[in-house]
Amino acid sequence: MPRDIPVGNGNFLVTFDRYYRVRDIYFPNVGRFNHTEGSVQRFGVWADGRMAWIEDPSWKRTLKYKPDTLVTDVILRNDELELEVRCEDAVDFHETVFFRRLVVRDLAGKKRDVRIFYHFDLSVRGTPVGDTANYDPATSSIVIYKDDIYFLFNACDENKCGIDSWAIGTKRVGGAEGTWRDAEDGVLGRNAISQGSVDATIGFNLDIAPHGQSYVTSWLACGHSYDDVKALNKRVLHKGPERMLIRTEAYWRLWARKEPIDISPLPEPIRDLFYRSQLVLRTQVDNGGAIIAANDSDITQFGGDHYSYCWMRDGAMVAYALVLAGQSELSRSFFRYAAESIEEDGYFLHKYTPNGELASSWHPWMLEGQRILPIQQDETSLVVWALRKHFSVFRDVEFVKPLYNPLVVYPALWILNYRDRNGLPLPSWDLWEERRGIHTYTVAATIGALHAAAAFANDFGESDRAAQFREGAQNMKAALLKYLWNPEQQRFARMATPLPDGGYRLDMTPDSANYGLFAFGALPASDPRVQTEMKAIRERLWVKTEIGGCARYHHDYYHQVERERIDEIPGNPWIICTLWQAEYQIAKARSFAELAETLPLLEWTVSRANESGVLAEQFNPYTGENMSVSPLTWSHATFVITVLKYLQKYELLKTEFGAPPPSA
């Protein structure tokens, strides 16, 4: 189920599902730990003797954000209860505090006794074993804790501070469903403490005049000790929760609009998603530098694992989006994180945890009795390439200086050593993490990395190394054209498998990843071979339903929906693959009319976004339903990249030809 409105600040992330239920709570890192295990955190409203949990069909929901912020603007209407609830949710931009402000309005024209209930089904540090929940009379709050992780729940309404009622108990033990059941009669039992697999429900009582409204603002404070959360609670009471919400809203507007980017050439829906994508992307970036692929815990039901890791490929491409958007502090943090994580020999392994440790992997260290490196070489190459993009924009010499050896020299030397006799990279896993061989995408990314390393070496006065890296790039480009280009089919292979005689067996399956040929500078977009390749990808991989969009590759099996009509529906449509076609249109555009051909692909992306602006990884080719994780950080980053490249090309064309005609 998609996470429609994530809110966070880089240390603390809270995600909601489409029913407006909190599903994931990450602290102290984005992606680590998930203190809910994806369990539903219930929210319900009791009025006139009836309880309606938010997933009840009687609710009509509008889940959005306030423009250009990470503060939600959620409207809930229940005609059976004759109530409207307007909600604002945010994680404070500085403190590890999650706020939720509810304004409840009567629609019946009579005095109302309304009771709000929040249910917290926490599993601190990702396991329910050994948790404690207790009511703290000193702060009139509920505290749940284990080891060095503490959560404090409190609230204020217009008359007082402190929670009105609570229930503390056990869940999933001896058939216990949880304390949320205690709320359904509108009254909570006020048990003082429980330990083990615990949960808690807290309640707030609101008296509402006919056609009037009342509010309650609650908060969840996180810390590493009882003293931490009590001090945070005190600061919230001192500053005022409403004031902290206002300052957080102001901060995110400042953050999103800090760069004077002229986006007026684009239609308003594209402009809106551009800013929303940057903000959603920010929720997935840890303040320690890790860029997390996705934090939708529902995916664990599919493969027994999640996406809450840093793949260096995804991280590098997201860092590139941040560079283009002017968010240099975040890209710097990522590259520092990468320098701490890289292996001593100069390459990256599969993926890493938010604190830089080696994460789970399905790449073996031995294959057919032979020792191999369990790597995807494009990950190493793209970090080098992206670091050069960062430096080209910001020219921050002092920042790059300590990274020159670990993220430029050592990886480039490793790349040169990790080649076969023809000058191509030795086999590794592809970017889709499914096949091992020599991949066109990997070769293109590695050529880009060697050019980047040569430019850095030249800057640092190491002309011999610069020549060495340039020669490696040139030789690899020649090998790419000699061995991976199929002149009979007038297309590039997606993969080459080495043969005993020194040749290669080519896999000619159409694959969207071959956009890398021009994206990383291996070949220009104007190269006739690139043009025929990208045309073939568009023709063979476009999903021929009303949903449209581009699949990853022909007969993509991951979450596959259609298994019979493969020529018409080669796979599920992906945001990144569709936007790679847009990037190609931009790169080859030589007029405003050609540039405008990009707009339908950007508009397609807008049409696939949830009402909140969140983009998933892929979609059902028949219904358009979100599939796999949502939001996918790479999806939002690719939209940001594509929009900014469009604007760059627009300005270039304007310089060359003058202002475009009104219809352009």
- 141-185 confidence digits (pLDDT tens): 999 999 999 999 999 998 899 999 999 998 887 777 889 999 999
Least confident of 104-113, 612-621, 650-659: 650-659
The tokens describing 558, both together, are 């991951």
Distances (CA, A) of 439 to 116, 143, 400, 593: 56, 52, 30, 34
Least confident of 175-179, 228-232, 357-361, 390-394: 175-179
Kindly tell me if the per-residue pLDDT of 222 is higher than 70: yes
Q: Using an 8 Å Cβ cutoff, are 140 and 204 in contact?
A: no
The values of phi and psi at residue 349, to 5°, are -85, -170
Distances (CA, A) of 194 to 127, 174, 228, 315, 408: 16, 15, 21, 41, 54
Neighbours of 40 (CB within 10 A): 19
What lies within 8 Å, CB to CB, of 336 at 6+ separation is 289, 403
Q: Using an 8 Å Cβ cutoff, are 117 and 46 in contact?
A: yes
Q: Which of 480, 485, 471 is nearest to 444 (CA)?
A: 480
The whole-number pLDDT of residue 1 equals 59
How many CA atoms does the CB half-sphere of 507 hold within 13 Å? 18
Neighbours of 293 (CB within 10 A): 23
Domain ranges of the chain: 7-255, 257-420+510-657
CA angle 89, 93, 99 (to 5 degrees): 25
Distances (CA, A) of 263 to 107, 582, 644: 41, 17, 9
Cis bond before residue 500 (omega within 30° of 0): no
The b/e string for 565-575 (b: 16+ C-beta within 10 A; e otherwise) is eeeebbbbbbb
Kindly tell me if the per-residue pLDDT of 654 is higher than 60: yes
Q: Using an 8 Å Cβ cutoff, are 508 and 491 in contact?
A: yes
The CA distance from 103 to 204, in Å, is: 12
pTM: 0.96
The whole-number pLDDT of residue 245 equals 98
- 403-445 confidence digits (pLDDT tens): 999 999 999 999 999 999 999 999 999 999 999 999 999 999 9
- 287-344 confidence digits (pLDDT tens): 999 999 999 888 876 677 899 999 999 999 999 999 999 999 999 999 999 999 999 9
Q: Tell me, which fold does domain 257-420+510-657 have in CATH?
A: Glycosyltransferase (1.50.10)
Percent of the chain whose predicted confidence (pLDDT) is above 90: 93
Residue position matching structure tokens 């259609």: 562
The CA distance from 77 to 58, in Å, is: 8
Handedness of CA 595, 600, 603, 604 (dihedral sign): negative
At 435, the amino acid letter reads R
The CA distance from 247 to 69, in Å, is: 11
Neighbours of 284 (CB within 10 A): 28
Average pLDDT, the chain: 96
Distances (CA, A) of 320 to 253, 314, 389, 519, 564: 22, 10, 7, 12, 38
Exposed/middle/buried for residue 238 (C-beta within 10 Å: 0-12, 13-18, 19+): exposed
Instruction: Give the pLDDT band (50/70/90) at residue 456.
Output: very high
Residue position matching structure tokens 């969840």: 220
The CA distance from 556 to 471, in Å, is: 36
Kindly tell me if the per-residue pLDDT of 349 is higher than 60: yes
The tokens describing 541, both together, are 């991989």
The CA distance from 190 to 169, in Å, is: 10
Kindly tell me if the per-residue pLDDT of 281 is higher than 80: yes
The tokens describing 623, both together, are 């219904």
The CA distance from 181 to 44, in Å, is: 11
At 523, the amino acid letter reads L
DSSP-derived letter for residue 403 is G
* CATH class belonging to 7-255: mainly beta
The whole-number pLDDT of residue 664 equals 54
The whole-number pLDDT of residue 663 equals 62
- 523-561 confidence digits (pLDDT tens): 999 999 999 999 999 999 999 999 999 999 999 999 999
